[in-house]
Amino acid sequence: MSKRILGIVLVLILIIGAASYLFVFKQKNQSVSSNTSYQMTPQTIEIFYLPHPPAVAIVRKVEPIITEFPKFTVKEFSFDDPQAKSVIDKYNLTEHMPIVIFIGGKDTFTVDGKSVELKNFPEGDAFAPSFEGGWSYEDLREILKSLN
């Protein structure tokens, strides 16, 4: 293959790669933008998470519980996404945590007489024991039942 043809092929690969990147970047920003502008209601659930497999796995386990209560609307935000900064700042989320869930703007609730904060990994499902929170999937279900 001549140097001229090789040069043309490389330029085409770069153009296709750049176009693909811009398309994906635009799609990602469009979906985040729609997540950051919404009306907060008592039925709005906001899930903030680190975009790492252990935290994402917890989000995936929480989603089916929330779907049991169709009156709730879910908004998910990655802590690493600069587009979510305004929402993260709204709650002053400055400490390192894998996940935190707000329902109607609150992350702390009373379940069976005890205070439950929907922060960090749920009990018994912590990737790192130091980040195990004081809540369970059943606590989340009970909170949603009480607010339904």
Task: Give the tens place of pLDDT for each residue, 130-147.
Answer: 888 999 999 999 999 999
Quick one: which H or E segment has residue 36? helix 3-36
Q: 86: helix, coil or strand?
A: helix
Residue whose structure tokens are 């975009």: 51
pLDDT tens column, 2-50: 777 766 766 657 576 555 544 444 433 333 333 566 788 889 999 999 9
8 A C-beta contact, residue 120 and residue 132: yes
Query: Which residues sit opposite 32 in a β-bridge?
Result: none
User: Tokens for 101?
Assistant: 């869930």
pTM, 2 dp: 0.74
pLDDT in tens, 42-92: 899 999 999 999 999 999 999 999 999 999 999 999 999 998 999 999 999
Residue with tokens 């790192």: 128
Beta partners for residue 76, in sequence order: 47
The sign of the CA dihedral 109, 35, 54, 141 is positive
